[in-house]
Amino acid sequence: MKVTLLVPTLNEITGIKEIMPQIKREWVDQIIILDGGSVDGTIEWAREQGFFIYVQKERGLRSGYSEVLPYIEGDFVITFSPDGNSRPDFIPVLIKKIKEGYDMVIVSRYANGAKSYDDDVVTSFGNWMFTTLINVLFGGKYKDAMVIFRAWKKEIIYKLEINKRINFPHWENLIGRWVSWEPLLSIRCAKRKLRYTEIPGDEPKRIGGKRKMKPLITGSAVIFQVFQEIFFWS
């Protein structure tokens, strides 16, 4: 079983310089820095460290995931935020768990005493609301359906058609720019009754950089994603 660590960046020079040296390269088989067009030295620093870098062509993390997919060599992919929100020491724990045969494993910020130290009132409520919505509408059993820090089998991206778009260009652009694959993975894994689980893991505060998520826009995009799943996907 090969594992690829996929690290999305967009002007995260402070975080990446502190977090990436904590990751032992022998933990995984491949590390990819997926960059959204950084101008703060993130790309140059990553290149100096010998990381493979893919600079995406279209805006939005969902587009970046789709573009980088052909370069992923791992059977499993771990998506990891280098801004301080994802803890490097949980990578080996996550790998150990996926070896038990799961299709997806989530490092949950709200399971069994875990806590997000980066939440505010808006993000805390939003995460709870959308996780509850996914559980009620699609039969999920999640504590944290939205978090980026998770591992998934590469093959389920094709099996669940995660990278396929419907013919609503304007709305797809909105979703693609503001919502990545994580909510969709949670929805479709629950709908198709794939084998998934969560492990508790605290979310530390961000180190430098700026939060990319815009609550109102992101929330609207997630709502449309839910609507799309109900009416346009079996």
pLDDT in tens, 42-52: 999 999 999 99
Label residue 176 left, alpha or beta by phi (over 0 means left) and psi (-120 to 50 means alpha): alpha
Whether the pLDDT of residue 88 is over 70: the answer is yes
> Which percentage of the chain shows pLDDT scores above 70?
87
> 204 in helix, strand or coil?
coil
- CA gap 226, 230 in Å, rounded: 6
The beta-strand segments (E) located in the chain are: 3-9, 30-35, 52-55, 76-79, 104-108, 150-153, 196-200
Mean pLDDT of 54-71: 93
- Total domains, the chain: 1
pLDDT at residue 195 in the model: 97
3-state class of 223 per DSSP?
A: helix
Q: How many helices (H) and strands (E) does the chain have?
A: 9, 7
Q: What is the pLDDT of residue 134?
A: 94
Percent of the chain with pLDDT over 90: 74
The pLDDT value recorded for residue 226 is 81
pTM more than 0.75: yes
- Three-class secondary structure of residue 217 per DSSP: helix
> What confidence category does residue 216 fall into, taking pLDDT thresholds of 50, 70 and 90?
low
Domain that includes residue 173, residue range: 3-232
- For position 214, which CATH number holds? 3.90.550.10
Average the pLDDT over 161-181 and give the result. 64
Confidence of residue 223 (pLDDT cuts 50, 70, 90): confident
Closest CA to 150 of 119, 104, 118: 104
Looking at residues 210-231, what average pLDDT do you find?
Answer: 71
Measure the CA–CA gap between 59 and 62, rounded to whole angstroms.
8
- Which tens digits make up the pLDDT trace of 114-137? 999 999 898 899 899 999 999 999
Instruction: Give the pLDDT score at 69.
Output: 96
Q: Is 193 exposed, middle or buried (0-12, 13-18, 19+ CB in 10 A)?
A: exposed
pLDDT band at 80 (very low <50, low <70, confident <90, very high): very high
Average pLDDT over the chain, rounded to an integer: 90
